[in-house]
């Protein structure tokens, strides 16, 4: 008999073994769920037998990041991972990466099983896996799968990029183009506050917040505020498509007039933007990033310039905000928008799902 654990589905952030972790994960290490539609193909729940190390939980199996792995406990008990799609669906492939650990393959064999009348039935077995395994497991119509990793001795098992697929399309996790980005500010803290996440209402301008607000970063003194001295970096390589080098700050009266108008009228065109001084980067894979409220722009930046991941593009600021109009530094931060295939990330996600997605997204 199998005890099925059903948990609200949200995706767990994968922190790479080598990734820079700057805050606690938003996810449970052993069992959680992924619900990133439309940014992922489907929703699913997952559970694993054990987790051996902090930041190396089961979430790392589904992040499409080549540098992050799930680590089991060091015991002689069999390990396993259960994937539950909630309802039957077509599946015909399985993929997994198993690195070398202590001079041998980290997992010596595995079995793919389906749950049939409360019993696990093995449908595929790989007795000699390599690092990158791509298996055709038959054309199946099922909802719950288990990957069984048998053990004959006490040891730690390690795996990553576990995928159930249909015609090589990943059904369990995010697309590779939506992971591996760096944080725009060194040691920046992904916000907890829902008001600083995409989808939050903005009544003062009759609109919706469409980005992440980075107000804080980690330092040797703990969490500190972002200042106008903090550099802003390209989160990924791409081409600059907008650069506001000729930006002129609003006066206090202009700010008040635009705020008053927007509170009672729909915004149909933006000529003076609360986003202030901006740079937009097209990452040439359907992803675009927009950096708002900059206090300055790096002199080398120009439209059409190709920038590298991690290249400095400007400084944090408060341009476009009331503090800028009053010529002070109030509410200095970076507002970062991520657009995928023409829509901003977070539009159809809950705040919790959005946090989890961005922990996958920022896994350099």
In this prediction the pTM is: 0.87
> Does pLDDT of 5 surpass 60?
no
Q: How confident is the model over 108-131, as a mean pLDDT?
A: 98
> Does pLDDT of 52 surpass 90?
yes
| Spans of all domains in the chain | 31-178, 194-361
**194-361 placed in CATH 2.70.70.10:** yes
Q: 201 with 243: CB under 8 angstroms?
A: no
Name the average pLDDT for the chain: 90
pLDDT in tens, 131-187: 999 999 999 999 999 999 999 999 999 999 999 999 999 999 889 999 999 999 999
> Does pLDDT of 268 surpass 90?
no
pLDDT in tens, 332-341: 999 999 999 9
Residues whose CB is less than 8 angstroms from the CB of residue 208 and which lie 6 or more positions away in sequence, other chains included: 199, 200, 201, 202
Q: 30 with 57: CB under 8 angstroms?
A: yes
Strands (E) across 167-229 are located at 169-170, 201-202, 207-208, 212-214, 216-219, 222-225
**31-178 placed in CATH 2.60.120.260:** yes
Instruction: State the pLDDT at residue 204.
Output: 62
Q: How confident is the model over 225-230, as a mean pLDDT?
A: 98
pLDDT in tens, 281-328: 999 999 999 999 999 999 999 999 999 999 999 999 999 999 999 999
């Amino acid at each position: 008999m199998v005890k099925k654990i059903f948990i609200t589905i949200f995706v767990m952030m994968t922190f790479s073994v080598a990734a820079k972790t700057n805050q606690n994960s938003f996810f449970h290490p052993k069992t959680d769920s992924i619900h990133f539609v439309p940014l992922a193909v489907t929703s699913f729940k997952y559970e694993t037998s054990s987790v051996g190390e902090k930041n190396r939980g089961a979430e790392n199996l589904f992040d499409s990041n080549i540098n992050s792995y799930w680590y089991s406990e060091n015991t002689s008990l069999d390990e396993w991972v259960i994937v539950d799609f909630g309802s039957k669906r077509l599946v015909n492939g399985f993929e997994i990466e198993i690195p070398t650990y202590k001079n041998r393959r980290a997992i010596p064999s595995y079995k793919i099983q389906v749950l049939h009348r409360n019993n696990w039935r093995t449908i595929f077995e790989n007795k000699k896996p390599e690092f990158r395994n791509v298996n055709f497991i038959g054309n199946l119509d099922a909802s719950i799968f288990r990957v069984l990793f048998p053990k004959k001795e006490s040891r730690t098992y390690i795996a990553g990029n576990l995928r159930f697929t249909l015609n090589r399309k990943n059904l369990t996790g995010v697309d590779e183009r939506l992971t591996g980005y760096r944080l725009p500010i060194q040691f920046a803290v992904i916000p907890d506050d829902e008001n600083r996440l995409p989808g939050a209402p903005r009544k003062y301008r009759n609109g919706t917040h469409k980005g992440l607000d980075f107000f804080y970063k980690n330092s040797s003194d703990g969490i500190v505020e972002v200042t106008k001295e903090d550099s802003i970096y390209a989160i990924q390589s791409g081409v600059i498509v907008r650069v506001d080098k000729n930006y002129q700050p609003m006066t206090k009266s202009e700010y008040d007039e635009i705020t008053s108008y927007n509170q009672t009228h729909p915004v149909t065109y933006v000529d003076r933007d609360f986003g202030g001084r901006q740079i937009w980067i097209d990452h040439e894979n359907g992803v675009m990033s927009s950096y708002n409220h900059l206090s300055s722009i790096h002199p080398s930046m120009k439209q059409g310039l190709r920038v590298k991941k991690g290249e400095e593009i400007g400084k944090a600021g408060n341009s476009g905000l009331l503090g800028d109009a009053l010529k002070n530094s109030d509410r200095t931060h970076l507002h970062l928008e991520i657009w995928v295939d023409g829509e901003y990330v977070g539009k159809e996600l809950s705040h919790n799902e959005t946090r989890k997605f961005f922990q996958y997204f920022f896994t350099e």
